[in-house]
Amino acid sequence: MVQRMAVSLRFALLLFAAFVSFQLISASDDATILYESFDESFEGRWIVSQKDEYKGVWKHSKSEGHEDYGLLVGEPAKKYAIVKELDEPLSLKDGTVVLQYEVRLQNGLECGGAYLKYLRPQEAGWVSKEFDNESPYMIMFGPDKCGATNKVHFILKHKNPKSGEYIEHHLKNPPSVPSDKLTHVYTAILKPDNELRILIDGEEKQKANFLAADDFQPPLIPEKTIPDPDDKKPEDWDERAKIPDPDAVKPEDWDEDAPMEIEDEDAVKPEGWLDDDPEEIDDPEATKPEDWDDEEDGEWEAPKIDNPKCEAAPGCGEWKRPMKRNPAYKGKWHAPHIDNPNYKGIWKPQQIPNPNYFELDKPDFEPIAAVGIEIWTMQDGILFDNILISKDEKVAESYRASAWKPKFDVEKEKLKAEEAAAGSDGLAGFQKTVFDLLYKVADIPFLDAYKLKIIDVIEKGEKQPNLTIGILVSVVAVIITVLFKIIFGGKKAKVEPPKETEAAESSSSKQEDSGEKEEETEKEETAAAPARRRRRDN
């Protein structure tokens, strides 16, 4: 009896689990607008731009170390463009919308983009076969890195209802692009309460409000007033806070012609100075080349070498007193500055009502009708995968868990093994941890003014791992300086990056260029001896 009840209970639980799974799958299907796994070839489903400038060839390729396929950027230094139209346009005004995709920078990313564009309907004036950088997108989202640029873009193109102009609004303080070659998943969640969340690998990196003036540049809602473009500064407007004192007179004893340095009259020639011996002598071991032609090449002169006598003596040649600073030197006289009685301050044009000002409760999102990749990159090996547009955050979360996480874990374990093999003392792993931490530090909002400088230094440190400690000290010094100014400073002064940073950069540059400099030195030395031959050109 008990056994029958247990079997019946298990059967009921199985039925319930199946029912719940069916409901979840149904909900997932209803919430999923687009899911592209690239398990099958993209040909016939995605449209490659036929514009002449987009020469890059897209490939259906496996991710390195996996059986999973993706859309691959196959060649470096090319422009790429490809687009997929949605079955029907998606409104961004109705509830939550989640944009998510994976990208793996298999060869790194020195200069190029790996972002997606979500395009407006084709009534806006574009066609799939001619998809290019001018095609009207609504949202641009994803990594972009080149030179000083290192960010995960989120750009919204929003129409000003007064002017009719579409304006790009960039998310402020966007997160940095992960510096490794692992698969990463990027998620943008647009909420109906105007909230935007940016996730990398499921971890929230940035939260913003579409209507907050501090979150987007320029803000979606423009300023109520603007400087009057027709206002002109009066000719008699004096912006000089200080002026030379017109009553000041140069002192009579002020000698503007006095030199900065004079001979040191107290200096005495060192004993043993060899006045009659030159600093350089002819090389006694040098011989005239057999092929030297006096008529063609001129009189042969032996190359010079340092006089060995001078090495043991204080010096050779004519002795001259050293120079010292002239105590009477004052330089050119300038009148001292005084407060300007006519100072009126820095002139600014008057403010007038902004003719393009409007108020907004919610962004006036236009529908998206296609997703495209339009990039220019110097690196190949960029692999796009698992592109998702959904109305449910849980759907995106489930794809991260099932499609992305297993790959990422395998890649991370492989990376750890490679680092352990490369450095048994664990230094490589320590450096990776340090650089990952420093990239997170660079994303701290109050360091935004120094973000590009910090990232530039970190990237140089990654190329020269022996600089890890110096880089760490430099960034910590910047943070301490900024915090000190915030806590104790009244006025916000400009904080100069610490010298350690410059030293680290200099050290890195010297190490990278050492081979070239040695080669150049050899070339210069090789060229130096023939210079004395004074051979005439034929």
Instruction: Report which of 166, 169, 160 is spatially closest to residue 140, judged by C-alpha positions.
Output: 169
Give yes or no for residue 388 having a pLDDT over 70: yes
- Rounded Cα distance between 26 and 329, Å, is 89
Burial degree of 433 (CB within 10 A; 0-12, 13-18, 19+):
exposed
- Rounded Cα distance between 63 and 70, Å, is 7
The DSSP string of 409-425 is HHHHHHHHHHHHHH-TT
pLDDT of residue 458: 72
pLDDT of residue 469: 61
Mean pLDDT of 405-412: 96
Range in 234-243, 472-481, 490-499 the model is least confident about: 490-499
Torsion of CA 203, 206, 210, 211, to 10 degrees: 140
Q: Read off the amino acid at residue 147.
A: G
Give yes or no for residue 495 having a pLDDT over 50: no
- For 481, the 3-state DSSP assignment is helix
Mean pLDDT of 275-288: 91
pLDDT of residue 198: 98
In this prediction, residue 335 has a pLDDT band, given cuts at 50, 70 and 90, of very high
Give yes or no for residue 399 having a pLDDT over 50: yes
- Rounded Cα distance between 362 and 345, Å, is 40
Mean pLDDT of 245-252: 95
Instruction: Report which of 109, 72, 210, 110 is spatially closest to residue 154, judged by C-alpha positions.
Output: 210
- For 119, the 3-state DSSP assignment is strand
What's the start-to-end Cα distance of the chain, in Å?
Answer: 116
In this prediction, residue 94 has a pLDDT band, given cuts at 50, 70 and 90, of confident
CB 120 within 8 A of CB 136: yes
- Rounded Cα distance between 36 and 42, Å, is 9
- Rounded Cα distance between 534 and 410, Å, is 67
- What average pLDDT does the structure give for the chain? 83
Tens of pLDDT along 261-278?
Answer: 999 999 999 999 999 999
Tokens of residue 148, six digits: 């000083």
Q: To which residue do tokens 């990196």 refer?
A: 205
Of these ranges, 25-39, 72-86, 511-525, the one predicted with the greatest mean pLDDT is 72-86
What is this structure's pTM?
0.66
Instruction: Report which of 196, 201, 157, 158 is spatially closest to residue 178, judged by C-alpha positions.
Output: 201
In this prediction, residue 518 has a pLDDT band, given cuts at 50, 70 and 90, of very low
